[in-house]
Chain A
Amino acid sequence: MFNEADLTALAITLKLAGVTTLILLLLGTPLAWWMARSRWRYKFLLEAVVALPLVLPPTVLGFYLLITLGPHGPVGGLMESLGGRPLAFTFTGLVIGSVIYSMPFVIQPLQNAFEAIGRRPLEVAATLRASPLDRFFTVAMPLARPGFLTAAVLGFAHTLGEFGVVLMIGGNIPGETQVVSIAIYDHVEGMEYAHAHWLSAGLLLLSFLMLLTVYGLNRRFRIMQS
């Protein structure tokens, strides 16, 4: 069924998706909140940047990341001058790549959810003397709950399915940067089809269950709200 290396790859994949989703929720929430509320003229520029990973081939992202993280690139050069080790081929490097790659999948649902609330509930809360922070945590966040769920699950699932970026910057080190999609690819290329089947089916099931959760829960939220 699964050999030890496959299970390790699975564990790394889940860890990567988890860490990535957590970081994206932490960074993405304030950004999405701001993007939903701001009337800045040039907001569309930022929106275009956030959506960019949706349309770019992952190989483009991976290629640029490889160059940026490398010792001749800006990030890699900075790391080196600070005495750190290069980030490519490390788990940290994978997290950086995944955060960029899955960014639109977290930020867009959040932004949509915040926009859907409208100004009204928050204005009401303000007249009841709720502070801006209070308004966000007690009014906006509960109302945007379906958005948070969608963002978290999509970010997680999308990172699970990541291939091109990790192929380019991961270096395929077993136990460190070898994720499931790469392990599957290796099995297929190496003509170990039975292993490939097990892992692929596992990933398929996992992804399906997660999407099922989102759509099922979102339906419940809608019923609750109406």
Chain B
Amino acid sequence: MNRKKIMILKLLVALALMLSSSLSYAAEIRIAVASNFTRAMMGLVQQFEADTGHKVKLVFGSTGKHYAQIKNGAPFDAFFAADMKRPKLLEDEGLAVPDSRFSYALGRLVLWSPETGYVDSAGKVLSDGSYYHLAIANPKLAPYGRAAKEVLQSRGLWKAMKGRAVRGENIGQAFQFVHSGNAELGFVAYSQVKYPGQSIIGSYWEVPQTLYSPILQQAVVLKDTAVTRAFIKYIKSKPALEIIQDYGYDVP
């Protein structure tokens, strides 16, 4: 063997080593995440990637759609839902890793308007205000919509809201309706108006949690790999819980 050939061989070996090391140490996982948790999850993943070197690919969308996709074989390693219904269903249907279901966040509902002084701190504007449209998420599909309906029912306003309540497909669309000014106010997620370290723009009423049943967001593992396990462990850690709170959620 001449020198040149040995040189090439060495290079090839080095290349193979590099490839194999990158494969075994920095794996990539794919996670389906409920849209309302978008910003918080990006904050969490940034930290996780910096700590471990693993890559996390996030797929955002409505929980209903993700559920249907997973049932039809979508290649996700874990599923962070907006409710507990869909993770429970996946567990019952044997599509989730047994005993992997856990609550990662508790959503908080607020009545919000981008206009300062529009929403009072007791939510009286709901019955007293003259507004054309109140945006909510679709109560049939979205947990925040269901919570909004419960609040309106507890105030005896649900029936009167027919024709005034505009329903977004999800809480993201409800927020957009209010943010664009097309609806004067709306029930949105606290996490949508709360940015870490900043004061909230506009006016809002933080709805007492006694007025609606808890918006418990749960996750399940779909593929049990070392990286998924590491990620779930990180999500349950104290620094992660602090990040989740920073983005406007309560932690269970």
Taking the complex as formed, is A218 at the interface, i.e. its CB lies under 8 A from any CB of chain B?
Answer: no
Q: How many chain A residues have a CB neighbour from B under 8 Å? A: 26
On B, residues with C-beta under 8 Å from A are: 62, 64-65, 68, 132-133, 135, 138, 140-141, 162-163, 165-169, 173, 176-177, 180-183
B132 near A186 with CB under 8 A, answer no
Indicate whether A175 sits within 8 Å of B163 (C-beta atoms), given known contacts A71-B181, A186-B141. yes
Picked from A168, A169, A175, A190, the residue with its CB within 8 Å of the CB of B141 is A190
On A, residues with C-beta under 8 Å from B are: 66-67, 69-72, 76, 85-86, 88-89, 167-169, 171-176, 185-186, 188-191
B180 near A66 with CB under 8 A, answer yes
A70 near B138 with CB under 8 A, answer no
Indicate whether A172 sits within 8 Å of B169 (C-beta atoms), given known contacts A189-B62, A189-B64, A189-B141. yes
Name the residue of chain B whose CB is nearest to the CB of A88: B182
B181 near A76 with CB under 8 A, answer yes
Indicate whether A172 sits within 8 Å of B167 (C-beta atoms), given known contacts A85-B132, A86-B182, A189-B64. yes
Output the least CB separation between B83 and chain A (Å): 13
Q: Which residues of A contact B162 (CB under 8 A)?
A: 174-175
Task: Report how far A172 CA is from B164 CA in the complex, Å.
Answer: 11
Given contacts A86-B132, A171-B168, A171-B177, 12 further A-B contacts (CB under 8 A): A66-B177, A69-B182, A72-B181, A86-B133, A88-B182, A171-B133, A173-B163, A176-B163, A186-B141, A189-B64, A190-B64, A191-B64
Q: Which residues of B contact A85 (CB under 8 A)?
A: 132
Output the least CB separation between A5 and chain B (Å): 11
Q: Which residues of B contact A189 (CB under 8 A)?
A: 62, 64-65, 138, 140-141, 169
